[in-house]
Amino acid sequence: MVPAMKRRRLPTGIQTFRELRERGCYYVDKTGHIERLIDRGKHYFLSRPRRFGKSLLVDTLKELFEGNEALFEGLHIHPRRDWSACHPVVRLDFATGDFAEPGYLHVNVMAQLDGIERAKGVPPRHDTAPERFGHLIRTLHERTGQRVVVLVDEYDKPILDAFSVPDTARAARRYLRGLYGTVKSCDAHIEFAFLTGVSKFTKVSLFSDLNNLVDLTLDPRYATICGYTDADLDTVFAPELDGLDRDAIRDWYNGYNWRGDEKVYNPFDILLLFEHREFAPHWFETGSPAFLVETLDERGVGPLDLDGMLGTDALLSRFDVDDMATEALLFQTGYLTIRSEERRGGRTHYRLGYPNREVCQSLNESLLAHFTRDPVRETNSVRLYDLLLAGDLAGLEGLFHAFYASIPHEWYTNNDIARFEGYYASVFYAYFAATFGPVITVEDSTVRGRADMTVRFNGHVYLFEFKVIEQAGEGAAMAQLKARGYAEKYRHLGEPIYLVAVEFSSRERNVRTFATERA
């Protein structure tokens, strides 16, 4: 019999490698990735969403290059590293501070450089950041005889903080372009450089002076450099799994994909799940999606448009103060992830989708609250769940009729009939997605067309079609469901299939007909 593994301390909130190791916390060994980075290159960049372990990775690099061998005992890299080769490390961290305030970025950078100089006994020179940064790097190399390691954590936060103030954001971009360019101009004095953050700003806008960075963001070899895999949960965290539904853990939190063979979990979600023993939107609740939701609304992008978006590598990288692609915004912030790859016209396209139940339900709750100008009423969500669980489609009609009637009149002042169907259908979908999560499929492809929405729940299949009566005519939704035979796609399941035709009236601003038939 294999002895049960001993439970260890959960590293919740710990971002320093030394504390994690000295306290005997669980640790998912990422040093195999680090070894590969050191052996194969020199200048690297990585973007990952917030709370994905980027800061811990940066701190691990710091401890490794400073030669703190004892911290790495038992890890992959320990017997493969020459621990006599120590290097001075210069680490900049923009995790804290209010960078929306004009001029604060310079104050912050100079304070960080001052702290590093004091710690390493380097006299300060110059009043400009790039020159002072360069002097620090060259001096450390000359004094120690070892090239310098440069680490930058949250490299993009000074720009992201000021996104609502474009002039300040542009000024931060210009400032950082010069600062980061120092890494290239000091290349002869640098052993290794690693920059990481949430977003992936275009090289032209931010890294034009540092154009020798190797971008790891979509490199399949490093897809799991941050985050936990299924294997990690089943091995490293095996003592924590007792009493938790393993399939529910996957459904709720797994699904992030950066083109690797394995999907990953957000570490923050998993650690809080193990700590509280409760499924909840742990990661989602640590951030505010207000900017994202408002941006989507301004661009006319609704809930129906998100799941299944298609983007190229260039499009997913088009993130800047003056040119921010919707797909890049959703992907880089972690609200959508890569679901599949498709080759079209000699180029790779990525099909995007929600990574898991947490993001699908939580984001749609936020979108629904914004589009209806009213927070989601928990009682309504419970009622929707109970009605579908009971197969009560008549009750479903009454619920949605009452819900649409509650939408404030003011919403209609800026929306015409051309946007009416998309708006009402999006609200309908968002309500379902916020309640049921990933069991919803939009634009469900069949051999004869696409059903607007498919719901598979409790052993039943529901096929929805949405129409505006003033545009399509009464009865058009059900006619389309029948004529195109959407139900044939699901016949092999042997489950009850229902056609649900929902027709809205732009004049009445509500559901006019709600017809259902068993297919």
> pLDDT for 305-322, tens place per residue?
898 899 888 888 888 888
- What pLDDT is recorded for position 418? 42
- What pLDDT is recorded for position 363? 95
pLDDT reading at 429 higher than 80: yes
Check residues 471 and 58 and name the one with the higher pLDDT.
58
- The separation between the first and the last C-alpha atoms of the chain, rounded to the nearest angstrom, is 53
Region 90-116: what's the mean pLDDT? 96
pLDDT reading at 409 higher than 70: no
Q: Where in the chain is the domain with CATH 3.40.50?
A: 29-222
18, exposed or middle or buried, with CB in 10 Å at 0-12, 13-18, 19+?
A: middle
Task: Give residue 376's pLDDT band: very low, low, confident or very high (50, 70, 90).
Answer: low
Phi, psi of 456 (to 5 degrees): -110, 115
pLDDT reading at 337 higher than 90: yes
pLDDT reading at 416 higher than 60: no
Which residue in 94, 90, 38 sits closest to 62, CA to CA? 90
262, exposed or middle or buried, with CB in 10 Å at 0-12, 13-18, 19+?
A: middle
Round to whole Å and give the CA distance between 182 and 458.
Answer: 59
Check residues 368 and 76 and name the one with the higher pLDDT.
76
- What pLDDT is recorded for position 412? 52
Q: Where in the chain is the domain with CATH 3.40.1350?
A: 373-518
Span 243-261, pLDDT tens digits: 999 999 999 999 999 999 9
- What pLDDT is recorded for position 457? 95
Round to whole Å and give the CA distance between 36 and 221.
Answer: 9
Share of the chain above pLDDT 90, in %: 72
Side-by-side strand order, sheet with 190-197: 89-93, 148-153, 190-197, 43-47, 214-215
pTM as predicted:
0.92
Check residues 346 and 227 and name the one with the higher pLDDT.
227
Q: Mean pLDDT over all residues of the chain?
A: 91
Check residues 298 and 280 and name the one with the higher pLDDT.
280
CATH architecture, domain 29-222: 3-Layer(aba) Sandwich (3.40)
Share of the chain above pLDDT 70, in %: 94
Q: CATH fold of 373-518, please?
A: Trna Endonuclease; Chain: A, domain 1 (3.40.1350)
